[in-house]
Structure 1
């Protein structure tokens, strides 16, 4: 007996979630049948491949392969020969190489930034080189600048937004992941057909948010992803960033607010996913290891960056004060749930 799971033709949030459900439904403990992951339809079509959909699919497949190995389940990848591939963008994005196939570049290969390009392919970076650097924030700044240059197309306001958000996400991963590798990619869609937006996606395969915040939340099960965006909630010290990286502790809060106000913000960790756009927030189930963060910004709706930055700092300070009051109340009511903070 074999179980065959087909990769969807397009890779976006919706198609990924359906694909992840199929992976999650496989009983790896009681059923030892061969599992085939078939990507031929994907390769022969020319579906839209978005950074979040691509990285989440890679994450889920890597997790699934690891769990198969641990449980003695055989897994094989069914794919098309390179000469028959129609989805050449996925090849340029390094999607196939990220699955371990000898098609296109590997994500381990460094990428020379070309400002005329509209995307940054999937790159896997060893974070140990950053944490060992004399000025680790400078190393994070370098990656952020490279990505922001490609995405902004000499639009100063857009550059400021993307540089800030990428910088904050990278810094958060460095502090909380517990893993030495980070994956990232990005896309710029300049026309209304593509959405006239940018998308940035950054992934680690570390401990996940639930474990990272366990000292602060204990055995809380709900609202964890929403809580991770609260300014000042971090259980890890950030004082060594204060001088060289303003707004430490506010990074994910400000990035999520920028995404919600101007497009979308998605954060996924292990089996939980929070998708926010404007006033809409939806909580979904996924199948992943570590944490994946996605930011999508509509190019034409961005306010002046400096004004928005000041606005969010003030909002964040107010929210941080509210959270500190919640922490004080919790000292005298240990069973007080985090959901009471959001009411």
Structure 2
């Protein structure tokens, strides 16, 4: 039995991407021999976060023992396919296209990277180094991103009980914006926090951005700093886990129902030209900016 994924439909919104991914998982649970068809027809653009949700779903199915195979319908001139090839999407899927694609020399994207507890710091430094080179951003924004990206990777793995996750990003120079996503297919926020608390699913996803709420391990304060950074930066954060999504912005924090996501996914959009006071959410015991720049350049004095 075939399961058709039209990339133009998946690329419409996070909600649509989550629905496609949830339907794909359910399909394999019903028909384990399902063949997947991925169709790029009439798709002119896709954000890397949508593609990474699909990639992580395939990895989840493979972790359950399913063999995910099928066909990809794509023309050599497809811009989204060429873009995703440059982002290592097909490479991570272990798919070899029947023709060469022009990966170009994209100076604004950060390729999909797999991270584990063992290479988390290496991936963090590599990722930030690429963004620092490619994106024009205020010093305080870079320092905040350094702190919060470490928090995101730490917490995705901390809530996961899986030893791997994936991350990707894109810098939009005309908008002074970075889109970044990190996701896994672990046990999710609710099950993770249920080991220490009796929260409902909605309470758990709200609590994960509160200071001091943690199940133990990691940095010990959930995604509090990231949420504060997003508010000060006038950006956006979405956390997908289980059947809930938490959206955080300068003006609103809201929870909505979603199609089931089998782990935790954190998506942020930050404004590279909106200054923030990083001291309001980083450590109160030392200057994080000084530490970051000493790590980069040695003592600046």
TM-score band by shorter chain is 0.7 to 0.9
Q: Distance in 2 between matches of 1:230 and 1:154?
A: 27
Does 2:74 match 1:77?
no
Matched with 2:179 is 199
Matched with 1:55 is 52
Matched with 1:258 is 229
CA RMSD between the two structures: 3.2
Q: Distance in 1 between matches of 2:116 and 2:75?
A: 28
Q: 1:91 to 1:274 in 2, by over 3 A?
A: same
Superimposed CA distance per residue, residues 224-278 of structure 1 (whole angstroms, 9 cap, x where no aligned partner) = 111111111111145xxxxxxxxx4346112023224522101122443223333
Does 2:108 match 1:118?
yes
Contact 1:268–1:274 (Cα < 8 Å) also in 2: yes
Alignment of 1:311-330 (within 5 A): 311-312=280-281
Q: Distance in 2 between matches of 1:121 and 1:227?
A: 31
Matched with 1:243 is none
Q: 1:100 to 1:150 in 2, by over 3 A?
A: same
Contact 1:120–1:150 (Cα < 8 Å) also in 2: no
1:169 to 136, 147, 152: 152
Does 2:203 match 1:223?
yes
Q: Report the secondary structure of 2:110's partner residue.
A: strand
Contact 2:18–2:261 (Cα < 8 Å) also in 1: no
Matched with 1:286 is 259
Superimposed CA distance per residue, residues 201-226 of structure 1 (whole angstroms, 9 cap, x where no aligned partner) = 11233332223212222363332111
Matched with 1:336 is none
Matched with 2:245 is 273
Contact 1:208–1:290 (Cα < 8 Å) also in 2: yes
Structure 2-normalised TM-score? Answer: 0.75
Matched with 1:89 is 83
Matched with 2:142 is 159
Superimposed CA distance per residue, residues 286-336 of structure 1 (whole angstroms, 9 cap, x where no aligned partner) = 343322111101334x23x3x2x344469xxxxxxxxxxxxxxxxxxxxxx
Q: Distance in 2 between matches of 1:231 and 1:147?
A: 30
Q: 1:175 to 1:128 in 2, by over 3 A?
A: same
Matched with 1:20 is 21
Contact 1:24–1:287 (Cα < 8 Å) also in 2: no
- The alpha carbon displacement at 1:171 in A equals 2.6
Q: Distance in 1 between matches of 2:143 and 2:24?
A: 39
User: Greater RCO between the two (CA within 8 Å, min separation 6)?
Assistant: 2
Q: Report the secondary structure of 2:7's partner residue.
A: coil
Q: Distance in 2 between matches of 1:27 and 1:60?
A: 11
Q: Report the secondary structure of 1:26's partner residue.
A: helix
Contact 1:152–1:162 (Cα < 8 Å) also in 2: no
Q: Decide which structure has the larger Cα Rg and report it.
A: 1
Structure showing the higher helix proportion among its residues:
1
Q: 1:100 to 1:280 in 2, by over 3 A?
A: same
Contact 1:177–1:290 (Cα < 8 Å) also in 2: yes
- The alpha carbon displacement at 1:186 in A equals 0.7
Superimposed CA distance per residue, residues 153-201 of structure 1 (whole angstroms, 9 cap, x where no aligned partner) = 364233223222212212323544332223111110011xxx4411111
Deviating above 6 A after TM superposition, structure 1's stretches of 4 or more consecutive aligned residues are none
